[in-house]
A and B are shown apart, each in its own frame.
Chain A
Amino acid sequence: MANIFAFAEARGGELRKVALEIVAAARQAADATGGGEVHAMLVGAPGIGAKAPQLAAVGADLVIVVEHAALDRYSPEGFAATAAARIKAGGYRAAFFPASAQGKDLAPRVAAVLGVSLASDLTSFALAADALTGTHPTHTGKIITTIKLTGTPAVATVRPGAVRVTGQPRAGKVEAAAPAIDPSSARVVVKALRSSGEAKLDLGEAPVIVSGGRGLKEAANFKLVEDLAAAFGNGAVGATRAVTDDGWRDPSTQIGQTGRLVSPDLYVAVGISGAVQHLAGMRTSRVIVAINRDKDAPIFKLANYGIVGDLFEIVPVLIEAVKKARTGH
């Protein structure tokens, strides 16, 4: 019976959604390999331990709370040393991290400290006694690769949204632990963390994304895209590389081969022709809507529903129609 380690990511004293997902992932893995325990690690400033019950509710048998004033913000070296030391001491079969910005930074360091390989960004997985197998979109999403990771512990990152969180209440016993290194000795220091002022909902988490391209003609017209995203109630705003290169939108909102790779339930492309580099970032969206004046635009080859025409005429009508449809329920 194997115990599983999960790294529960927090930011600003709050658990991130991926923290619950990763504990749920570890719960699945533990239950599939004989019902071992899930040990979730929670690192942060003093007081972060108050979040432990949320992790217990989704399947953590034990919450290892590491509180330290200097760990309020992320410390790559402090977090990596602390997680690696615990994974080593705990004799875990596997250790799961979210494939978030923080997890993608942290997990390779931890794997390297432990001298093991890393399975990255899994969209599904199965843990067995001898191997972890899973799927990982490669080649900018144009290929689905099934990987096999041997060795113990199996260290992996799991893509946000890949695991459904269900209530699986466990004891969630709390164990306090100290950082494995003095955090003030870390060479890499996060000096500040500030909101990027973009959409409240992150592109990786939003069920609906509305994106705009050059067809909007100027930066101010992105108001239409924002209003449409708001009309859906749960929409985030994305952009093409052409538009972020021109400084109309923050580079962090670029969707494409060199930007974010997203797969929301609904992707609405407004004034986007569909350059290959952009399609690479959104082709795995469940439903794609495109509004563009050029009926031959490549985006229409991908769009489940395309409307040809002037976006400045169509989008305002669509905004009102979406609002009405949502309140009509």
Chain B
Amino acid sequence: MKIAVCIKRVPDMDIRFSIAPDGRSLNPGDLKYDISDFDGYAVEAALQFNEKQGPGEVVVVSLGPDGAQETIRKALGIGADRGVLLTCEDAPFDGAVTAGALAGELKDGGYDLILFGRAANDTGNQSVGPMTAQLLDLPCVTAVSKLEIAGGKGSAQRQLEGAIEEVEFPLPAVVTIDEGVARPRLASLKGIMAAKKKPLEVKPAQLGTAHLTIEKIELPPERPAGRIIGEGAAAVPELIRLLQDEAKVL
């Protein structure tokens, strides 16, 4: 199958963030970057489909600053065939803008399957995949935790609140990948070396006007410092008292 996987370069979430003086962005000095978790799962899922089902191509597409080339190289390092980076200063916050640019790139690509991660670790908007599908007029299934493709058809499972939905759809299609489908493999040294020679096309992103913007960002209120109230079962009565009288949750 010819599969496109749309990936995003996001800040590593393990870092203690601080807010830049503009009040709308993170202090860049703090940041390290990596592929967004669910996008990594999507890359792995694409690789596994083509390993199982014979020849195909996995094209990794990203929208973001030049630094996203590294993120694409990482996907190439574990086996994707080629990459496309649509460059812009910063990845847009407005999912509709991102979807518009990606749809323009993907529309004549002849892809059997277009994969996204369920959500980006940073914005968490969960909108780009289904919006892109709508713009391309393709069937779309979001947040799948299980995915099978055979004979030009797909079947998937979606986790709902306390329930599972089983969904069928024809290809070509857009699918967004949740936890449960695949965990990305580690790159081998050979893979990393090979990735350097794989094609990576870089071109400016065609961005529409954003209608969803960031007014400000803040750190959530600090939690009070953790407090150990005691040891062993002897501490249980004190815990009950605190839950009743102080926290009022019991």
A321 beta carbon closer than 8 Å to chain B: yes
The secondary structure that dominates the B interface is mixed
Contact B166 A192 (CB under 8 A): yes
Which residues B209-233 have CB closer than 8 A to chain A? Answer: 210-220, 223-233
Q: Which of A105, A120, A205 is within 8 Å of B125, CB to CB?
A: A120
Q: Is the CB of A74 within 8 A of B125?
A: no
- Are the CB atoms of B130 and A108 closer together than 8 Å? yes
B212 near A196 (CB under 8 angstroms)?
no
Contact indicator B243/A120 (Cβ below 8 Å): no
C-beta contact mask, A135-167 vs B, less than 8 Å → 1, else 0?
Answer: 011111111111111110000000000000000
A interface secondary structure, majority: mixed
Closest to A316 in B: B233
Q: Is B142 an interface residue (CB 8 A)?
A: yes
CB contact under 8 A between A193 and B163, given known A139-B13, A307-B230 = yes
Q: Which chain A positions have C-beta within 8 A of B96?
A: 111-112, 116-118
Interface residues of B in 84-109 (CB under 8 A from A): 93-97, 99
Q: Determine the residue in chain B with the shortest Cβ distance to A261.
A: B124
Decide: A258 near B38, CB < 8 A? Known: A108-B126, A142-B220, A194-B164. Answer: yes
A1 in contact (CB, < 8 A) = no
Q: Is A310 an interface residue (CB 8 A)?
A: yes
The CA of A232 and the CA of B145, in the complex, are separated in Å by: 30
**Interchain CB contact under 8 A, A314 and B179:** no
Q: Which residues of chain B come closer than 8 Å to A290, judged between CB atoms?
A: 226
In the complex the two chains form, what is the Cα distance from A138 to B123 in whole Å?
A: 5
Is the beta-carbon distance between B211 and A151 smaller than 8 angstroms? yes
Minimum CB–CB distance for B122 against chain A, Å = 5
B169 touches A314 (CB 8 A): no
A-B contact count (CB 8 A): 281
User: When A148-B213, A306-B226, A325-B244 are in contact, do A113 and B124 touch as well, CB less than 8 Å?
Assistant: no
Min C-beta distance of B210 to chain A, whole Å: 7
Q: How large is the interface on A (under 10, 10 to 19, 20 to 34, 35 or more residues)?
A: 35 or more
Question: Complex: how many Å from CA A179 to CA B168?
Answer: 21
Shortest Cβ gap from A69 to chain B (Å):
18
Q: A121 CB to closest chain B CB, in angstroms?
A: 7
Return 21 A-B CB contacts under 8 Å, by A number: A101-B158, A109-B131, A109-B133, A112-B131, A120-B95, A120-B125, A141-B220, A143-B17, A143-B217, A143-B218, A145-B123, A146-B217, A193-B164, A193-B165, A252-B145, A266-B247, A287-B247, A290-B226, A299-B226, A307-B231, A308-B230
Interface residues of B (CB under 8 A from A): 11, 13-14, 17, 26, 37-38, 93-97, 99, 121-131, 133-135, 139-143, 145, 155, 158-170, 173, 179-180, 210-220, 223-233, 235-237, 239-240, 242-244, 247, 249-250
Interface residues of A (CB under 8 A from B): 11, 16, 73-74, 76-77, 80, 100-102, 104-105, 107-109, 111-113, 116-121, 133, 136-151, 187-196, 198-205, 207-208, 232, 251-252, 254, 257-259, 265-266, 276, 280, 283-284, 286-290, 295, 299-310, 313-314, 317-318, 321-322, 325-326
New A-B pairs, 11, CB < 8 Å, besides A289-B243, A305-B229, A307-B236 = A101-B161, A108-B129, A112-B96, A117-B94, A117-B95, A118-B131, A139-B11, A187-B169, A276-B14, A280-B13, A305-B227
